[in-house]
Amino acid sequence: MTIARHYVMHALEGHEAALETALADVAQTIRDIPGNEGIELLRDLGNERRFIFIEKWDSVESHKGAADHMTQDALVHVMAAMDGPPEGAYLDYLKTL
């Protein structure tokens, strides 16, 4: 069963491009981790500082174990470009078309 890990992040003013690049780099790292089934990176059309990052996993446990496959500094550039902590949640797919 595929689950999603959803994050909402806001870039510091003037750091929108830096956050986009950092998230794209993290996505490249995550996509090769066992259990990952895909990643989506979106930007809000009405607020270019707001980003949505969705990771698809085969289980919550796979997501939680992903940190074991990443270096400690993998998120340094993401954290440096964000305006506060991300909002995150695990989501079930009820229906996909």
CA distance 69 to 49: 29
Instruction: Tell me the whole-structure pTM to 2 decimals.
Output: 0.92
**Confidence band (pLDDT; 50, 70, 90) for 15?**
very high
Quick check: 36 and 54 in contact, CB under 8 A?
no
**Of 50, 55, 58, 71, nearest in space to 8 by CA:** 50
> Average pLDDT, whole number, for the chain?
95
Quick check: 52 and 44 in contact, CB under 8 A?
yes
**Confidence band (pLDDT; 50, 70, 90) for 72?**
confident
Task: Convert the pLDDT of each residue in 33-57 to its tens digit.
Answer: 999 999 999 999 999 999 999 999 9
**Confidence band (pLDDT; 50, 70, 90) for 18?**
very high
What kind of architecture, by CATH, is found in domain 3-92?
A: 2-Layer Sandwich (3.30)
Q: Which helix (H) or strand (E) holds 57?
A: strand 47-57
Sequence ranges of the domains in the chain: 3-92
